[in-house]
Amino acid sequence: MRKILHSDLNNFYASVECLLNPDIRDFPVVVCGRVEDRHGIVLAKNMIAKKAGIKTGMVLYEARGLCPNLKCVEAHHDIYAKYSKAVKDIYREYTDRVESFGIDEAWIDITNCHKHGGDAYKIADEIRNRVKTEIGLTVSIGISFNKVFAKLGSDLKKPDAITEISVENYKDLVWPLPVEDLLFVGRKTKKKLNSMNVKTIGDLAKFSKQRLMFKFGKVGAMLHEYANGQDSEIVHTKEELDDIKSVGNSLTFYRDITTDQDVKALLILLSESVCKRMLSYGYKYANTVCLVIMTSELSHIIRTKKINATNLAEDFANEAYKLFKKYFKWGMGYVVRGLGVSVCGFVNQKQMCFDDLNEKADKKKNLQDAVENLRNRFGRNIINRAIIYTDKRMKNLNIVADHTENIGRQLKQSENSESAF
């Protein structure tokens, strides 16, 4: 029987800020993009702010309305990355099978770990205490025989807690939970399942697998297996994940993204960063683009597309914009808070197309290289596309430094993601 942990750093961004600044620890604290922005977004909050009703994704002025003594601090992503690495270094002392699920979460396969006689609870408790004493942060840990239930376990009891979901108790612990608590059941899927009178994870487990497949395709079969504890996906090592690595950037904007022009400009900035990093890693071309749309509820709509292999930022941006127009409709009651672009499917050569024959691609690549040379010599803002100047803040965004994320896992899971429309 496998022994898998899922560790979740509690209120990670806010906890790091409180650790670094003890003077704010006893106050409600939120982390946001820019403190001076009335329309800034709450990226994280501490437990005191959470108890006051503040939610991640809330507009900053609304949060201040709930907590007049609210302490607002700007995000420091470089610092969070260092703390995340330090915590995961502790995990890797127990096993090489440590798979990140975002900056603050990770699965840890301790099946072959012999500390404490292989007792999963004692190992988890030791990890929990080490993170607290050596790093100064708290974690909630789920223990189970698969990844999905381990993730559920870490969500059941917070903060600084351990929950074990076993073969013997999962029907008692998991099945009464709302169906949306299951990994990959988003808002739209929940709505469809509820309309089928599937309200709990237990309802889903007992529902006809064939009917689920008829309604949702292979995703329906996957969810049925998850609900029944039949998730067999392995916890990947870092080396295994590197084999499917993508290059991606994402950001939460300082205000709502409300127009096609906003979207085009941000996709250009993101794609330029992605393209620059892709080439710096030694990849010549990519043949897959992934778009991530982050809504006001911080849910993610993820779509991928196979494209003609390219190394032009303009191509990545254009293909990402086509995905946006296909899967997002303005005026449907959803607010866009952030965007992400990722590319993968790296190849050393590309198939010839009409643009190659008439030398357009070469001219565009030469222009792109010339622009990057200027930026390397004189700074990022020495030259920009005209659309970037439609928002005075946009031209000052340092995408590479402040918004770099590996969203390869999102690419891998994109076929299981849902559209909110």
Q: How far is CA 365 from CA 99, 257, 315, 369, in A?
A: 36, 29, 11, 6
Q: How far is CA 123 from CA 88, 126, 156, in A?
A: 15, 5, 19
- Do you know the residue count of the chain? 421
* Dist. CA 111–CA 5, nearest whole Å: 10
In the three-class reduction of DSSP (H, G, I as helix; E, B as strand; rest coil), residue 225 is classed as helix
Q: Tokens at residue 217, please?
A: 């395709």
* Sheet of strand 42-45, all strands in order from the earlier edge strand to the far edge: 42-45, 29-32, 71-74
105 belongs to the catalytic site: yes
Contact 31, 61 (CB under 8 A): no
Q: Tokens at residue 76, please?
A: 């420091």
Pairing verdict, β 162-164 and 247-257: unpaired
* Dist. CA 72–CA 85, nearest whole Å: 25
338 strand-pairing partners: 252, 294
Secondary structure letter of residue 133 according to DSSP: I
Which residue out of 17, 105, 272, 319 is catalytically annotated?
105
Question: C-alpha angle with apex 365: 359 to 366, nearest 5 degrees?
Answer: 90
* Dist. CA 250–CA 294, nearest whole Å: 9
Q: Tokens at residue 269, please?
A: 């900035």
Task: List active site positions.
Answer: 105
